Each structure stands twice: as C-alpha cells, then as structure tokens.
Structure 1
Amino acid sequence: MGILNVTPDSFSDGGHHNSFERACRHADLMVSQGASFIDIGGESTRPGAAGVTLEQELERVIPLVEYVSANHDVWISIDTSKAQVMQEAVESGAHLINDVRALQEPDALSVAAKLNVPVCLMHMQGQPRTMQQSPVYGDIVEDIVQFFNMRINACEAQGIDRSQILLDPGFGFGKTLAHNYELLNRLAEFNRFELPLLIGLSRKSMIGQLLQADVDERLAGSLAAAMLSVQKGAHILRVHDVKETVDMIEVMHATTHFKTL
C-alpha cells in the first residue's frame, strides 16, 4: 500500500505532494513500482497535528481518488475519519475505508455500513494532538485486543460483515518507543482474529528514535520492521518506499518458493 498524503504537514512527506499534479505523478510512480493499493489522505495524523475542515479534506482527496480510479487498476484506500469524506470518496471510486479512529466519529459507522466496502479499524490511544503525552497500558496487546473486540462488535451490530474488516494495531499512535517494539515483537498474537492485518511502520518515529535517524534516513529500519511484520502475519504494508519494499518481499517470497524459481 503506497502512501499518498496530500497535506502540508504530514510527518514524512508533508508538502511534497501538496498539489494535484505532483500527487498524480507520485501515484503513477508508486503504481509503476508495484503498489497494489494507493492510500489517499488529506488530514495529517502525526503527533500534534491540527485538524482540517471537511471542505479542505474533500478538496484535497476527491480529485485524486477520481484520478487514480480513472487511470490505474489498483485498490484505492481513503484515509479518513469523516463520514462525508468516506461517502464521497467511495462514490468517486475508493474501495477501502482506512480510519485511524476506527469509525468512532459521528455517523462514520452507519455510513461505512451503507457503503458496503471493507474497513480498516486502527487502534489509537487518545487523539493525534495529544496521543504521545504519556500513553499507558496494562498489557498492550490485550488492551488493543479488547478495543478491537469492541469495535468489531459495533461494526457487526451496524451490519458490517466480519469478512469486510481489517485491523491495524496503530504503531506510533499513543504508544511509547518500548510499546511500539513490544507490539512488533508480539504482532502474531493478533492473528487470533483471523482478519487481515494492515501494518504501517514506514519512516515512523519508532525507527527514528531507535536509530537516531532523520525521516529521510529511515529506509533500512523501515524495511527491517516491514520484514518482521510480514513474518509475523501482516497482510498489507502501508509504506512510503514502494519499490524497496516490493524488492524485500520478493526476496522473502523466493526463500519459501525457491523450488518454483
């Protein structure tokens, strides 16, 4: 899953694709490099990020959803928590709702149910502006499992079939450095749900803090974390560096399918 942020303040590529033309070219590039999904987002959810209005978010994402839908045969994911953005994005060609707030915003759950597309439920402790201010857990995996159970039950009660649900434990969203690496170490425990795991570790602060590396120096760490995620059961990797991640997966695939090479 290639990340396409059309925001001025996303933590890694903020402003880089903050024009329609540049964003289209970057989508073209990621598809050419092997992305199966393009994840389009118009609101930064980095720690401390300010919110955006509904109108701003629609202006940023809908033209891109329409462009990718018209020009590429890939899945389009809309990264939003707003019900109206979900509605208009799916009507414009999006196939998947990727919500960092797990359909907890007003009308999000009912609208997602009516749209009848897959939804990814992400765990976040707190809200983006404050989530990194002293997050605390009892047992981090069991706490997130409890959250997922509640949100899955809410989805099913609203009419969303379990087969339409994906899960994201939310690396970096209300977690300390130690929390993030414990979560990565125990990622396979989420396979108990028998649902696809969507994992986003690319260039995150858990890589930068560990390696004392700036955002543009986190590729090796991101690839290592992505490889570990796949080994522990990840189904979809949400990444900035598509070509390098595809290469890594190809090498992993060859080690288990060498008899067919």
Structure 2
Amino acid sequence: MNSVDAAGLGIGDEHPPRIMGVLNVSEESPYDPSVFDDPSEAARYVDADLIDEGADIVDIGLESANKRFDVLSADEELERLHIALETIESVSGDAIFSIETRYAEVADEALSQGFDMVNDICGFADPEMPTICEEHDVAVAKMASPPDIERPGVIEETDWAARKSPDWAADADYVDQVYEALKQNGLTDKTIIDPAFGGWSEAQTLEDDRETFRRLRELRALDRPMLVSINRKNFLGEIAGRETDERLPVSLAATSMAVERGAHVIRTHDVAETRDAALIGKAFTERASASVDGITISRLDVNSTREFRLQLRERGIDPAFADDWGTQLLEVEGLDTDASEQLISIAADHGAVVQRTSDGRLLLMGSTTAVSDVSGRLNGKSGSLDGLGEKLSKLLR
C-alpha cells in the first residue's frame, strides 16, 4: 500500500485511521450544525466540535452539495474562499485543512494561502487538478466521478462504451465502473481514492452503495489510501429502517467494517463517536507486513478470486493466473446420495476433490479453474443438482 504524507499526517495501512470532520461555508445550505458563514463562529466550531473531538483533517466546502442548487463557477468559489481562509487563521487547534473543490484554480489559490490538501469531488474532471496538487506536493482525495466538472459522482451516466469499449461496458457492473472512474485521468503519488457513496444521481441506487461497500477491498488494488464518506447515508439507514437523525449507530457499525475492509480516512459529522468506531475496526484488522535489512514483505488482500485478479492486473500480470493458483474451499449440503456421487465424479474429472465430512456434508476443493469447470458441467443437471452450477459460478466471481 502506497501511504500518503498529508502535510506531515501519515495516511495508510501503517497509520491509525484518520477522521475528517466537515465544515461548510455555503450560503445555500439549509441549517446544519456544520454550516457557517461567520469565520469566528466557524473557528469555534472547528476547535470545539471537530479538533477537540478527534478530527485529524477538517474538510471545508464552499458550496452546497444539494442538487437543487446550481453549480458555482470557479470565480464564485474564489469569492467565498476568504471566509474559509479567515476561519483557519482563527483556529487554535492542530489539524490538516482540506479544501473541497472541483476547480484547479480554486485549489491553487487555497493551497497558496494556507490549506494543506484538496478534496476533489469531480475526480480530476479539471485536467489541471493533478498538476496543481503535484506542484504544491499535497495530498488529494479523488472521488469516483465522470469526466464532467459539473456532475460529480454520476458514474452510471458515463458513456463507458465510448470511454472504455463497447464490450467492457456491456459486462461492467457498478463497482467495475467506480474502479475505472477512479483510474481515469490518472493518480498522483499522493492521491487518496473515494468511491463516492451517496445519492449523487438518480441512476445511483442504494444497492449500488451496498455492493460497493461489500467489495470495498477490491479498491485496494489501486495501491492508494482510501477515504469513505458513509456517515448517516441512506444505504445504511434503509437496512435498519432509521431516519437520518437516528442513523448514528448504523454509521458507527459501518465505520468499523469499512476500516477493516481497507478505509484509511472516514469523513463524518460525528467526530468523537466515529473516531472510536474506526479505532475498533483498526484493532481487529489483519494485514501483515514485515521488514528486515531494507526488505519488506506485505500480504496483499485477496479474499476473493476477483480481488486476486485485480491485484495481478494492476501489477501488469495476466489475471488468469488467479484461476490456477487461487484455491477454493466450498461446503455443500442438502444433496441426496445420487447427486453427491455425481458431484464427486464430475469434480474428479476436472482436477477438483470432494470429501465427505463427519456429519454428511461435502467439501469441494480445487483451483478456481477446476471448480469453475465443475460448475459448468453442473449446469443443466436435474434433481438436487439443479441450479448448483449457477450458484457455484456466483461464488467464484
């Protein structure tokens, strides 16, 4: 994992999870505890409710993310920047200050006058953004987004057939699109990736967010630290049947899981509670690395064949190797005697092995290629084998 130095703050596997608190200086935003237009009041909030509560980073936004409002131009953001700058000058606590903007021009001005990093919600849609961040040698959070400076996060509305290829677009699911969106326009050495949770467009569904969260580890193949913004999000609230003001418990549960799955920065309005949940997630995360005499060995996250393939692909290695070297161990129960014997025979024909457990279940073992071949042979079988091949195929993805 390529760790990032954000103005002296280490972000990556070997560092504690970092908490990003939120401050908005938007005139359009409806009432919210984090919205201010007076620098003195904003500074007091940052000190008391963000830094004192455990925020490592303070992310300052100049405009509302509410889609009801028009997108501000770079000039309009620059007119508001003075409020943010006066705020950070008045803050007494110690934190890294991040400017949330989609414009390289705004980022350049903010970084020149006291900001430490950038949070780009349009994923380098402004082609000058990575250059500006590299010139200032700063960390930059890059949110998965289409190449459109006015439409952050609308991944599914991207013309992937033209941008990637018709074949790729036909087969790609939502998380595949997030992964490619994070890669488009490149990554700086200090990029922190953000998979863009939340309702950024009508096309983005709650199931899209849930699937992204399930497969969060796959994004580690990009070899960059990860930021997630899941605080009180709808995809969590729907699971528990909770409205926004009742979603703190589900947000904290998800925070621990996100850290365990690879998140390094958690963006939140509930700083103290989120910090504690992130530390729990970190304490029970198993990632191993060792160094001796200048040599470092790290165990990569390959908890599924898909993750194995991604890690190989990003390193320029044929991902098909994952099918031959990745070992599958699957338990099958509920087959009758005849179906069990058929499965044992089919497995043996394709280089896989089936063993019976003491309580009558079956263990199917073999390489991904072997088990995939078994699943193919099972398709169309009748009796209790009906549908087993399709289920096996889904588990191997």
TM-score class, shorter: 0.7 to 0.9
Over residues 195-244 of structure 1, what are the superposed CA-to-partner deviations in whole Å (9 max), with x where a residue is unaligned? 10011111223234444433322211221221111110100001110011
Contact 1:135/1:176 (8 A) holds in 2: no
Q: In 2, Cα distance between the equivalents of 1:17 and 1:190?
A: 34
Aligned to 1:159: none
- The equivalent position to 2:43 in structure 1, one of 3, 24, 47, is 24
| Contact 1:9 1:49 (C-alpha < 8 Å) held by counterparts | yes
Q: Match for residue 164 of structure 1?
A: 190
Q: Give the root-mean-square deviation of aligned CA atoms.
A: 3.1
- Name the residue aligned to 1:233: 262
Alignment of 1:69-84 (within 5 A): 71-84=92-105
CA contact (8 A) 1:100 1:121 kept: yes
**Cα distance change of structure 1 residues 151 and 2 upon mapping to structure 2, 3 Å threshold:** same
- Gap change, CA 1:253 and 1:113, over 3 Å in 2: closer
Aligned counterparts of 1:221 and 1:135: Cα–Cα separation in 2: 31
Q: Distance in 2 between matches of 1:213 and 1:17?
A: 27
The corresponding residue for 2:117 is 96
The structure, 1 or 2, with the larger RCO (C-alpha pairs under 8 Å, 6+ apart) is: 1
2:173 is matched with which residue? 139
Distance change >3 Å, CA 110–CA 131, structure 1 → 2: same
Matches within 5 A, 1:37-76: 37-68=57-88, 71-76=92-97
Q: TM-score, normalised by structure 2?
A: 0.56
CA-CA distance at 1:21 after TM superposition: 2.7
Q: Which letter does structure 1 place at the counterpart of 2:264? A: H
Q: CA deviation at 1:11?
A: 7.4
Task: Provide structure 2 residue ranges, at least 5 long, that are not aligned to the other structure.
Answer: 1-19, 160-168, 287-397
How big is each residue's C-alpha offset from its partner over 1:122-167, in whole Å with a ceiling of 9 and x where there is no partner? 1135755894998998322222222222232xx5xxxxxx421110
2:197 maps to amino acid: F
Q: Say if 1:61 and 1:72 are closer, same or farther in 2 by CA, change over 3 A.
A: farther
Contact 2:227-2:264 within 8 A present in 1 as well: yes
Give the deviation of 1:14 after TM superposition: 7.5
More helix by share: 1
Number of residue pairs aligned between Structure 1 and Structure 2:
249
Counterpart contact for 1:201–1:222, Cα < 8 Å:
yes
Which of these residues, 37, 44, 56, is aligned with residue 36 of structure 1?
A: 56
In 1, distance between residues paired with 2:132 and 2:191?
A: 15
8 Å CA contact 2:228–2:266 kept in 1: the answer is: yes
Provide the rounded CA distance (Å) in 1 between the counterparts of 2:284 and 2:153: 42
TM superposition shift of 1:113: 3.4
Return the structure number with greater strand share: 2
Change (3 A) 1:132 1:46: farther
* Alignment match, 1:223: 252
Residue 21 to residue 128, structure 1, CA distance change in 2 (3 Å): farther
Query: Relative to structure 1, is the Cα distance of residues 24 and 43 closer, same or farther in structure 2, using a 3 angstrom cutoff?
Result: same
Q: Are the structure 2 counterparts of residues 253 and 233 from structure 1 closer, same or farther at C-alpha, using a change threshold of 3 Å?
A: closer
Report if aligned partners of 1:50, 1:129 keep a CA contact under 8 Å in 2. no
Specify the structure having the higher radius of gyration (Cα).
2
Inter-partner Cα distance in structure 2 for 1:220 and 1:13: 20
